[in-house]
Amino acid sequence: MSVEPRRESEFACVRSLRDRTILRALATSGLGVLALGVLALGVLALGVLALAAPALAQDAGLRASDDAGLAGAAPAMASGADAPPAPEGAPAPMTRLSDAIDPDATALSPEAAAANYGKPRPFKPKPKSNRKSPAHPLPDLAPYPTSAEARRARRLGLRADAVDPALLVPSPMAALPATVSAKPKPKLDLDPFAPPGLDAGPLRAHAYSETDFGYNSNPLEASPGASFLRGSSFLREEVGLSAVSDWSSHSFTGDMRLGYDDFLQLPAANAPDGAGKFLARIDVARDTKVNVDGNYGLSTQFQTSPNLYNNGASTQLASRPLIATYGGGLGLSQDFNRLELTLRGAYERTYWADAHFADGSTQALSQDSYDDYGATLKAAYALTPEVQPFLAGGVDQRIHDATVATDGYERNSVGASIVGGSTFLFSQLLTGSASAGYEDRHYQDPRLTDLRGPIYDLSLIWTPTPLTKVTLRGQGSMDEALLYNASGVLNRSFSLEVAHALRRDLTVTGTAGVLYSTYPGNPLVQTYYTAGLKAEYHLTRHIVATAAYALQKMAANQTGSDFTANIMTVGLKLQE
């Protein structure tokens, strides 16, 4: 009695009565042990197969066939009256492997969890995240710039959206990539204290106003020993304006200045001065240009001027007589590949104001004013963009207001000149132009000899270092003079200027120059020397403090024509 319950508990996992009967018979036989081992291996194999079946099954057909195999044993299991009841607390027996999973349960039973078999979990897609649009999306489809549609639009002078849309629909492969504009790099300011300038309509302009206070040891330029030789303090005011265009075609450049010296102790030495010029280029066609230019100059004559003779009386001036020049020109330039031909006509007026002397007398210099009419033909050839040699020839005629000048000579004249030279630019270190030629002037009065000689014009800028600039200028010219028996004056001048930046806001400039003047027909020879030193301290871009010293000396081979003057100034310059 005690064995049967034990045996029943051993074979309780087998539901079929027939299977339990067979197992009991095998257990009582000699081969029972071997049969039980084989049966245990079979049960183990079925367990492994049950564990692997959910991973290998791809559809519900496998589970249906499994259920059909087990359903055959269900009636026998249901009709078996010998089946013992399940003990209390034991889990409910399984009739099928699929019964291990409760479809309505939220948690799996241990048997089902081990087999990992049951209904698949429902797939719930995650909500899509709001992805940011690309920083540079593709633009709308547009034709290539070289396509037929784009060329037709340009030929008709229409915008792309004004052309027939049917002609502007390109293939999908014609989409142009978005242009990604790179962030511009900050520009290096080579001159942080340069005037910023201002926009005046289509021009870029720079203006300045400078006020100086100083002392001049000889403002009247009196000769040593003269009774009116004395110094005076003075105020000087100067204003200036320059402008340049920035156009795709045509161009304009110009600059001007005006100044006035007010001597506090010697009003007779008060004098204005000024100069200016402009050049406007009109591009008529690609190879044709029209040039319009103009200029003016304002200066005064000094006590030592050879034009002031006052019939041999005293030449002490009550005020400085003015000399004003103004004029302009009109030219036409035509390019033939590298060759440029320019024809220019010019007019210039020179006005001399009457001289008023301290004794009340007057010299009518205004009668010696004259008009100058001229024409010039110039040919330039561009060997390279940096070197352009040229050759120019010109003629001119001077007509005075009075046929007979105040010195008793007929000074109307005709002149001709020829000049050759070149402009050049060598690696930004040496730039400028140089020319030389010959001029001959014939006067209407037979008593005056022809005025002839070499002429030249030199302007060189050398920049050995970023902080140092050297400027060399030279000029040789022929000008009018009223000296007795002199046809005119031959002037030869040279000047040298060296500017060095001790700091970015402090610049020191040294100057030196010489002017050599001869008067053909008269033995007078004059040599004018100048030297100076100037310092500029830039407080800001708009405010500059200045200090300067200048030496002026005239040496002549005739008594009463030489002088020496020392000038010192300090000032403040406002610029824009």
Average pLDDT of the segment spanning 257-261: 96
Q: Helix (H) and strand (E) counts for the chain?
A: 7, 21
Mark whether 219 and 329 lie in a shared domain: yes
Average pLDDT of the segment spanning 260-266: 94
Q: How confident is the model at residue 495 (pLDDT cuts 50, 70, 90)?
A: very high
Give tens-digit pLDDT for 424-482.
887 778 899 999 999 999 999 999 999 999 999 999 999 999 899 999 999 999 998 88
Percentage of the chain lying above the pLDDT 70 cut: 71
Mark whether 436 and 303 lie in a shared domain: yes
Q: Out of 7-11, 410-414, 572-576, which region has the weakest mean confidence (pLDDT)?
A: 7-11
Mark whether 106 and 207 lie in a shared domain: no
pTM above 0.75, yes or no: no
> How far, CA to CA in Å, does 30 sit from each of 16, 44, 517?
23, 23, 153
More confident residue, 48 or 540: 540
Q: How confident is the model at residue 223 (pLDDT cuts 50, 70, 90)?
A: confident
**Predicted pLDDT at 98:** 44
Most confident of 159-168, 178-187, 350-359: 350-359
Average pLDDT of the segment spanning 332-346: 95
Average pLDDT of the segment spanning 5-31: 56
**Predicted pLDDT at 302:** 83
pLDDT at 352 over 70: yes
Q: How far apart are CA 465 and CA 501, in angstroms?
A: 10
Does 187 map to a domain?
Answer: no
Mark whether 319 and 211 lie in a shared domain: yes
Does 153 map to a domain?
Answer: no
Contacts 24+ apart (CB under 8 A), 259-263: 260/236, 261/219, 261/234, 261/235, 261/236, 262/234, 262/235, 262/236, 262/237, 263/216, 263/219, 263/232, 263/233, 263/234
Q: How confident is the model at residue 171 (pLDDT cuts 50, 70, 90)?
A: low
Does 388 map to a domain?
Answer: yes
| φ, ψ dihedrals at 70, nearest 5° | -80, -20
Domain boundary among 96, 115, 134: 115
**Predicted pLDDT at 89:** 47
pLDDT at 7 over 60: no
Mark whether 223 and 103 lie in a shared domain: no
**Predicted pLDDT at 12:** 55
With beta carbons less than 8 A apart as the criterion, state whether 506 and 498 touch.
no
pLDDT at 244 over 90: yes
Does 254 map to a domain?
Answer: yes
- DSSP tag of 144: -
More confident residue, 373 or 18: 373
Mark whether 99 and 207 lie in a shared domain: no
Does 148 map to a domain?
Answer: no
More confident residue, 90 or 503: 503
Domain boundary among 81, 115, 149: 115
Q: How confident is the model at residue 141 (pLDDT cuts 50, 70, 90)?
A: confident
pLDDT, the chain, mean: 80
Specify the number of domains making up the chain: 2
**Residue 540: which residues within 8 A CB-CB, separation 6 or more?**
193
Mark whether 207 and 103 lie in a shared domain: no
Three-state SS at 5: helix
Structure tokens at 52: 């692997």
Mark whether 212 and 97 lie in a shared domain: no
Average pLDDT of the segment spanning 374-393: 94
**Predicted pLDDT at 164:** 53
**Predicted pLDDT at 469:** 94
Most confident of 9-18, 105-114, 136-145, 272-281: 272-281
Does 62 map to a domain?
Answer: yes
**Predicted pLDDT at 419:** 96
Does 196 map to a domain?
Answer: no
Mark whether 94 and 230 lie in a shared domain: no
Nearest Cα to 263, choosing from 321, 324, 320? 320
Q: How confident is the model at residue 34 (pLDDT cuts 50, 70, 90)?
A: low
**Predicted pLDDT at 152:** 77
Mark whether 207 and 111 lie in a shared domain: no
More confident residue, 464 or 314: 464
Does 120 map to a domain?
Answer: no
What CATH number is attached to the domain comprising 560? 2.40.160
**Predicted pLDDT at 87:** 47
**Predicted pLDDT at 322:** 93
Give tens-digit pLDDT for 176-220.
566 667 777 776 667 788 888 888 888 899 999 999 999 999 998
Look up the domain containing 57 and give its range: 3-115
Share in percent of the chain as helix, strand, coil (round to 5): 20, 45, 40
Domain boundary among 50, 82, 115: 115
Nearest Cα to 326, choosing from 372, 282, 358? 372
With beta carbons less than 8 A apart as the criterion, state whether 441 and 489 touch.
no
Average pLDDT of the segment spanning 504-530: 93
Please state the separation of Cα 277 from the chain's center in Å: 26
> How far, CA to CA in Å, does 200 sit from each of 206, 208, 239?
10, 15, 17
Task: Determine how many CB atoms are found less than 10 A away from the CB of residue 231.
Answer: 17
Q: How confident is the model at residue 23 (pLDDT cuts 50, 70, 90)?
A: low
Q: How confident is the model at residue 119 (pLDDT cuts 50, 70, 90)?
A: low
**Predicted pLDDT at 526:** 92
Mark whether 110 and 208 lie in a shared domain: no
**DSSP per-residue letters across 43-78:** HHHHHHHHHHHHHH--SHHHHHHHHHHHHTTHHHHH
